Amino acid sequence: MKTKMTTAAVMTAALLLTAGIGLAQGAFTMQNIRDSKVYGPFRLKSGETVRIDGVSYRLMTPSAGRVSFKSLANGTVYGPLQVVDGRLGVVGNATYRLKPASSPAESAGTPSRATATAANDTREPFVPQPPAMPEMIPVPEQQRRVVPAKDLRALPETDPVFRILAWLAPIDHTPLDWKIDSSASGHGAIERVSLGGEAEWNHWLASVTLSPFVDSGNMAKGGSGITGASLDDGTGWSIAGGYKRPFLVEGGWSASAGLRGKISQDSGDLTAHTVATSSHTDTNGVVSVLSENRVETSSITIRELSLWIDLELAYSQSFWGLYADVSIEPVSDYNVSGSIKYGEGSLSIDAERSQPISATFGGWYRMDQWRFFADLTLGADQRLRLGGGYDF
């Protein structure tokens, strides 16, 4: 009798242990408490990618029977949530009821005939069953809508993202301070209409911009015999590359910092209006001063090599986001090739940015994996961009 009792107890314990393992490695479903829509079943396995209410998440299992959901759109982590029947949790903008996809006995498998016979032998003493799971108390409606606080941590973990963007910039200006013959002559902006493209992979950025239409404001407002000078019929391009990543994440908010290098070139025809004077003394000793207005045309090329520090504050949800970016240019090298014809000689031209800081304000909207955005830049650059892209 003692041997039979021991055998029954051991087999019962083995069944319970096997059932627990089946639950820990099993599956679960999620039911939206508003519309009762059920998602799943999902495997309770770290690294699995699931889609809930049109949003993709990556599962993380910090401990047995618990799961966290990491948004692939903005990196926000929800959880961890305990996978027990009736547990409520907030994921994204909705509250869901979690439920194991199968009972412990089903997860563990069906016992053999010999095991079932030994476990149900009425001649053996009663073996106590494990205590039942306590009844889950529903969370009040007011508490359901509260998103639990997320961990505030430095250099948060982020998923690799590959994204391509393209845009049109109908306004793309760079204000410059001009010098003619080493003397300050005025303020005039390089004015462009530009097309651009950008690729982002795991926080690395690369972009190319083409400007088929380039001209400028008046870069010479009196002095040095120049009454006016401007750039016409020009073209330009720029290439930039850098690295930017979030260093702080709190809920839907994120703060990022990065470093970016850029090289650009604008070329065109420079038209200058000059005034040449000459004097003449006649036989009676009368001195006459003659002035001659001329229009001189020459070709110039403007190149810039610069380094930028980018700081960004952003707020994002599943399908939309807003961002503000401040860019500081600690290093800039402007070089102007060309000169203005003046009489029998020529006058040199130099330029530099009017200011080294710019601010960008923008927003985006996402439909599935397609992304559309618009932003406005003021300061060192003055630009309006309208574009879209695709998140792979």
The pLDDT assigned to 72 comes to 86
Task: Give the pLDDT confidence score for residue 136 in this predicted structure.
Answer: 65
CB neighbours of residue 123 within 10 Å: 6
pLDDT of residue 27: 84
Where are the chain's structural domains?
A: 2-151, 160-391
The answer, as to whether pTM is greater than 0.85, is no
H/E element, 302: strand 287-316
**Residue 289: its pLDDT value, please?**
56
Half-sphere exposure of 296 (CA within 13 A, CB side): 25
User: How many Cα atoms sit within 13 Å of 108 on the Cβ side?
Assistant: 16
Per-residue buried b or exposed e for 280-298, using 16+ beta carbons within 10 Å of the residue's own CB: eeeeeeeeeeeeeeeebee
Instruction: Provide the pLDDT for residue 17.
Output: 41
Looking at domain 160-391, does it have CATH number 2.40.128.90?
yes
Phi, psi of 7 (to 5 degrees): -60, -45
SS3 22: helix
pLDDT along the chain (392 residues), means of 10: 44 44 63 86 85 87 82 84 84 86 47 40 55 63 52 57 94 91 81 96 95 88 71 94 92 93 94 71 61 79 96 93 96 89 80 93 94 96 96 90
